[in-house]
Homo-oligomer: A and B are copies of this chain.
């Protein structure tokens, strides 16, 4: 129903989440390619280092919770979800990684993966043996710094997620979610206003701390309000600015401002 013309794309496929599908495509990437993929500026290019690619079909897991940690992964193409499984076996969606995102960072502490990552579409990922990375980091300061930076980017994202969950209500959470997706697609060179939701309503609900029914209802309401047009997995953003400003925050009576005021007075 919604065909994206392929001539706008730098990649093989016409859709961001269908990268390498029926072909073997590229099997190895250089360090330089890796760096440009994750968005860090390092200009060293050791020819002897190469990272292997690996393919996954929708539904397959890149790694599972509890599995011994030894690799990081970088998404080359496709769309995935990161989930945490609690003691009762309930699935909690933590993120929807896509091209350029790093997977498995949570395994560094504790030597086992704390989450698991499931492919939502056919995916291609780069495999980064952690030992190789640390060895490279030792020999190159800039690379080590970039590595730290990427790890922290994840932390900042997660913090913003907590803020979103804590302070916003359903409509605003979903609005923010859509804006976030739009911006990420846009950054990868795809349309910011038309894209496919590769995850289920249940996944979105889990991610945003809502039920799938609330997600469905809210999307319908936004459609009715003319902010978006949604047809199952196909989404068109019709008023991005309205979605951006739709953050009906709780009044959140600001508690103890006195403390800060006292502090400023004390320190000056």
Contacts and interface: CB of A to CB of B under 8 A. Distances in A.
How many copies, total?
2
A88 B154 CA distance: 24
A59 B60 CA distance: 49
A79 to B, nearest CB: 12
Given A94-B162, A118-B263, A156-B109, A256 B206 contact: no
A224 interface: no
A238 to B, nearest CB: 23
A249 B88 contact: yes
A217 interface: no
Q: Which of A88, A154, A159, A261 has the most CB of B within 10 A?
A: A159
A35 interface: no
Interface of A: 57-61, 84, 86, 88-92, 94, 105-110, 114-115, 118-120, 134, 137-138, 141, 144-145, 148-156, 158-163, 165-167, 200, 202-203, 206-209, 211-212, 249-250, 252-256, 258-263, 266-267
Given A59-B259, A109-B148, A114-B159, 17 more contacts: A59-B258, A84-B160, A88-B249, A91-B252, A105-B152, A115-B159, A118-B260, A134-B141, A134-B145, A137-B144, A138-B141, A148-B151, A158-B158, A167-B206, A202-B254, A203-B256, A206-B255
